[in-house]
Amino acid sequence: MSKTVAKAVHVLESLAGEPKTIAELARELEVHGSTALRMLQPLVAGGLIARGPDGRYRLGLRLVELGQQVLDEMDLRAVARPHLISLAEATRSTVHLAQLVDDQIVYVDKIEGAASIRTWSRIGRAVPLHTAAASKVILAALPVEHRERLLSAHSFTRYTERTITDEAEFRDHLAAVARLGYATDQAEFEPLVHCIGVGIPDVTGQLAAAVSLTTVRADADLAALEQLLGRVRDTATAIAAALGHPPR
């Protein structure tokens, strides 16, 4: 990186902290005021920084546009896949990545676990809203109006004896999911198939997707399922960090 580019980056990083005057930037960069002004001029012309009415310089709106373009071009599946593979290998369980697409929650990736049997789920297939752990996590994080619109149009079909088919009961269930920060599917769609899911926030803090882990068990052992929660949460945190969400 050339010295000129390095100093331009330094200016942007400095102004990200707080607006500054030419004199303050010159002292920070250890250059004369006129030199600092010459450095700022192309950044101002490009909209990367702007001079406020108080004479201080701050980051410009062009940076917002460029940042949004980066986010728009970021492929969630490509970012998440290495972390999904690591989770599947560590647990020998099947791992899913789900996302809200056109008012449907869809599996956008799936890594088969070495110890798992084949399940119903497929990449590109919509997830039953009221049964899957991933769909519950996403629903619980949606704005109320959006969630209610999806639920009001949804048919609460019974798939197993454990399926929640009462709409009011399911709303209470989602409230619990929101409090806990994770969701489970205890053989609610397929017998013997149990899942636990966690949300993945994006750089804005909004829920971008959900990761879930699937196990096949003869018994509905919630404690055994929750023992895997730490690994699933770590995976969600790693994907969120790769998407630009700051660690807590």
For residue 163, is it within any domain?
Answer: yes
Q: Give yes or no: residues 114 and 205 share one domain.
A: yes
Which domain does 58 fall in, by range? 3-70
For residue 248, is it within any domain?
Answer: no
Report the pLDDT value the prediction gives residue 220, as an integer from 0 to 100.
57
Q: Give yes or no: residues 200 and 99 share one domain.
A: yes
Report the pLDDT value the prediction gives residue 246, as an integer from 0 to 100.
74
Tally of domains in the chain: 2
Q: Of the candidates 70, 99, 124, which is a domain's last residue?
A: 70
Report the pLDDT value the prediction gives residue 186, as an integer from 0 to 100.
92
Q: What are phi and psi of 214, to 5 degrees?
A: -115, 130
| Minimum mean pLDDT range among 5-9, 53-57, 66-70, 71-75 | 71-75
Residue 211 or 128, more confident: 211
Report the pLDDT value the prediction gives residue 168, as an integer from 0 to 100.
94
Radius of gyration, alpha carbons of the chain: 24
Q: Give yes or no: residues 20 and 134 share one domain.
A: no
Give DSSP secondary structure letters for 15-79: HHHS-B-HHHHHHHHTS-HHHHHHHHHHHHHTTSEEE-TTS-EEE-HHHHHHHHHHHHH--HHHH
Q: Give yes or no: residues 48 and 78 share one domain.
A: no
Q: What pTM did the predictor assign?
A: 0.70
Q: What is the pLDDT of residues 107-131, one digit of tens each?
A: 988 998 876 666 667 787 888 899 9
Q: Which of 124, 71, 58 is nearest to 96 (CA)?
A: 124
Is residue 219 pLDDT above 80, yes or no? no
Percentage of residues of the chain with pLDDT beyond 90: 54
Q: Of the candidates 53, 70, 87, which is a domain's last residue?
A: 70
